[in-house]
Structure 1
Amino acid sequence: MRNFIANHHSELIYSLVVFIIILVLKFLFTTAVRKVSKLSDFNPVRTNLIIKFINIALTIIAVIALTLVWSVNYKELGVLLSSVFAVIGVALFAQWSILSNITAGVIIFFSFPFKIGNTIRILDKELNDSEAGNLDTFVIEDIRAFHLHLRRSNGEILTYPNNLVLQKGVVLISTYREGEFLTTEEEKA
Structure 2
Amino acid sequence: MTQFFNNNLEQIISSVILLIIFIIIRTIIVITVKNIGKKSGTTEARAGLIGRYITVILVLIAILIEMFILGVEPEEVSLVFSSVFAVIGVGLFAVWSILSNVTSGVIMFFSFPYRVGDKIRIHDKDYPVEAIIEDIRAFQIHLREDNGDLVTYPNNLLLQKAVTLLQKDALDDASIL
TM-score calculated relative to the size of structure 1: 0.84
- 2:156 counterpart letter in structure 1: N
User: Counterpart of 1:187?
Assistant: none
User: Counterpart of 1:170?
Assistant: 163
- 1:13 counterpart letter in structure 2: I
User: Counterpart of 1:25?
Assistant: 25
User: Counterpart of 1:34?
Assistant: 34
Structure 1 position 52 matched with structure 2 position 52 = yes
User: Counterpart of 1:97?
Assistant: 97
Residue 155 of structure 1: how far off its partner (Å): 1.7
Residue 113 of structure 1 aligns to a residue whose secondary structure is: coil
Residue 80 of structure 1: how far off its partner (Å): 4.8
Residue 168 of structure 2 aligns to a residue whose secondary structure is: strand
The CA RMSD measured in Å over matched residues stands at 2.0
Give the Cα separation in 1 of the matches to 2:81 and 2:158: 35
| Higher mean displacement: 33-42 or 110-119 | 33-42
Give the Cα separation in 1 of the matches to 2:57 and 2:164: 33
User: Counterpart of 1:142?
Assistant: 135
User: Counterpart of 1:157?
Assistant: 150
Sequence identity percentage: 43
Q: Which runs of 5+ in 1 are unaligned?
A: 129-135, 182-189
Give the Cα separation in 1 of the matches to 2:63 and 2:77: 13
Give the Cα separation in 2 of the matches to 1:33 and 1:13: 30
Structure 1 position 110 matched with structure 2 position 128 = no
Q: 1:164 to 1:80 in 2, by over 3 A?
A: same
Q: Which runs of 5+ in 2 are unaligned?
A: none
Residue 71 of structure 2 aligns to a residue whose secondary structure is: coil
Give the Cα separation in 2 of the matches to 1:51 and 1:81: 24
TM-score calculated relative to the size of structure 2: 0.90
Give the Cα separation in 2 of the matches to 1:177 and 1:34: 24
Residue 137 of structure 1 aligns to a residue whose secondary structure is: strand
- 1:126 counterpart letter in structure 2: D
Give the Cα separation in 1 of the matches to 2:19 and 2:38: 28
